[in-house]
Structure 1
Amino acid sequence: MKDFSLLKEMVGIHAPSGNEGAMTKFLLDYIEKNKKNWKVQPEIFSGDGFQDCIILKFGNPRTAIFAHTDSIGFTVKYGKELIKVGGPVTEDGFKLCGTDSKGYFETELVVLENEDEPTKYEYLLDREIDRGTDLSFLPNWREDERFIQSCYMDNRLGVWTALQVAETLENGVICFSTYEEHRGGSVGFLGKYIYENWSVKQALISDITWVTEGILHDKGVAISIRDSGIPRKSYVDRIRSLAKESGIAYQLEVESAGGSDGNQLQASPYPFDWCFIGAPEDHVHTPNEKVHKNDIAAMVDLYVYLMKHL
């Protein structure tokens, strides 16, 4: 079974949409330290012109993995009011944390419901937090023989999967994107760069999906036929054929809602094919996101297989 210490470290990194810098620094440090042990040394593209995104180019790429590094969270408005970053589930008493000019703090979410007004959110703390400070869920890692449960498996697990693939990847691109949880925005220029420089026009979206009546724990990684976006059927059919050929456990997802970096690629002016492939989790967008270890293993194995054969 895989060692998940790296994943445990990553779920504790504060990186809500728009403030991914700490995650970017962590990834660049990790890549620099570990790339010497990888089968192929990638070219690394980051910094000016890439905002907080990172592109890794291996060999002669045909296919790109996109994994978003940001998370959901909250922003301090005025006084003690909070507004959402992305779509976090809001439950009274959820533990939150952040850092402002006065230092690190931990607090609780307060949900204020009024029949005649929209629901409002506040924090519970004996001092005022600086206006504009972003907050994230307080990490609480739980692991047993079958499951991992923590905040931000979406999408630290997608990022972790991409790093596992990087160890043996010979030809391919890995794009670590930003802003995905809050309307996207970076995938357009990442897609432009890899298409115009290396003619890459196939993508796999390394992200985490939902446990539903049709997608269950311990049944394999989910291959999404559609969500709010509809990828090109001929491309998804190729992936399904390769998945069947691989013998790796997978399940087929069909949804009408939800979205990912794939939707942003489809909206770009470049002819990208894309498919969302990810392990399913329960308790989505809460501090208690729960994923089965067998589904994680299937996710890594399928990505490795697809990057070789697509």
Structure 2
Amino acid sequence: MALDFDLLKELTETSGVPGYEDRLRDVVRREFDGVVDEVRSDAMGNLVGTVEGASDYAVVVAAHMDEIGFMVKHVTDEGFLQLDALGGWDPRILKAQRVTVLTEAGDLPGVIGSVPPHTLTEEQKEKEPKVEDVYVDVGLPSDAVEERVDVGDLVTTAQTTVEMGDHLTGKALDNRVSVFAMLEAARRLDDPDVTVHFVATVQEEVGLRGAEAIGVDLDPALALALDTTVANDVPSFDAAEYVTELGDGAAIKLKDSSVITNRKVHRRLRDVAEAEEIDYQLEILPAGGTDTGGLQRSHGAKPVGAISVPTRYLHTPTESVHRDDVAAVVDLLTAFLDSETGEHDYTL
């Protein structure tokens, strides 16, 4: 598959934190144009692109479009910004990061500063880092900051997405790479036997909220989530701790902390991958939830499965995926949907 790197770059570099996914929604809506039969959004901001099938049997494919970020909670008298986290951050990686502050008057560049280590006391060096101790410097006098920045403005890390060997690296690959895969599968899907709702969900990073709402609104017979997953195939981890490995193919989820997937669904995903000679690996994620969990219990019990993109350095500005794994996710999702007739028995 020839990967549309420009689209992936646009998706990842566009800002969209939980509850404020507007810019991403505009991009996805544009990409749905001419590909799906109907596009609609809801009061939370979930965006649904529907491909009508030969039957009313409905399948939901969901990929969340929000990224972890921050909200400004206070502007100091000196003009520095204090932050409230939106999603799970490791505060150890925040120092010396460039950020973008999204204000009503336009975007402001900023930095999360880190003072020289030789000016710190031993007590300061040993202090455990916390998000609430982070300050953003936008390089303006305090009166100018007060005019430009309001409490409630959003902040994201500022990072470009680049090709790095066989890998692609940047911010927000969690989960824009899955949105990308969903859009590619929607383009490939032709005259399906079942109706497919492709959904770009919101607020996954703060509790799977968009998926829970959309599952009630659409009430699908079957749901698949697309997300990233841990690839700890790096020094200092044992093989049993890898979860997945870059370059080994699409990850078929067996469980995470929010869901145990339907065994008939993940078995069929494996059968399809083997029949189509698509590289895959099995995913058992010990911690972290996905939209799969939100969809499984919406509007009653649902058969659910998930396909994941193995990703190194999750929840950092340097998330990295292997281009072959991205292609495998697109191939597997497309083949699964092409072969869904609505007659498979997923009851247990």
- Structure with higher Rg: it is 2
What is the alpha-carbon distance in structure 2 between the residues aligned to residue 190 and residue 101 of structure 1?
Answer: 29
Gaps of 5+ in 1: none
**Mean Cα deviation higher: 285-294 or 182-191:** 182-191
Where do residues 115-194 of structure 1 align in structure 2 (5 Å cutoff)?
115=127, 120-127=133-140, 128=145, 129-169=149-189, 170-171=191-192, 172-194=196-218
Deviations 1:208-238 (A, max 9, x none): 1110324111100111100102122232222
Compute the TM-score of the two structures, normalised by the length of structure 1: 0.89
2:65 to 50, 63, 69: 69
Preserved CA contact (<8 Å) 1:235 1:274: yes
What is the alpha-carbon distance in structure 1 between the residues aligned to residue 227 and residue 129 of structure 2?
Answer: 35
Preserved CA contact (<8 Å) 2:32 2:39: no
Deviations 1:112-152 (A, max 9, x none): 87748956222123344321111111122221441110101
Task: Tell me whether 1:238 sits opposite 2:261 in the alignment.
Answer: no
In the other structure, the counterpart of 1:220 is: 249
Compute the TM-score of the two structures, normalised by the length of structure 2: 0.80
Preserved CA contact (<8 Å) 2:230 2:285: no
Preserved CA contact (<8 Å) 1:148 1:290: yes
Give percent identity, aligned residues only.
Answer: 25
What is the alpha-carbon distance in structure 1 between the residues aligned to residue 50 and residue 326 of structure 2?
Answer: 24
What is the alpha-carbon distance in structure 2 between the residues aligned to residue 117 and residue 158 of structure 1?
Answer: 31
**Mean Cα deviation higher: 104-113 or 228-237:** 104-113
Deviations 1:78-122 (A, max 9, x none): 122112110133321111102224532111224787748956222
In the other structure, the counterpart of 1:100 is: 103
Preserved CA contact (<8 Å) 2:309 2:326: yes
1:289 to 319, 323, 326: 319
In the other structure, the counterpart of 2:291 is: 261
What is the alpha-carbon distance in structure 2 between the residues aligned to residue 108 and residue 58 of structure 1?
Answer: 43
Preserved CA contact (<8 Å) 1:83 1:121: no
Shift in alpha-carbon separation, 1:101–1:21, aligned structure 2, 3 A: closer
Deviations 1:156-180 (A, max 9, x none): 1111111101112233221111000
Q: CA deviation at 1:50?
A: 4.0
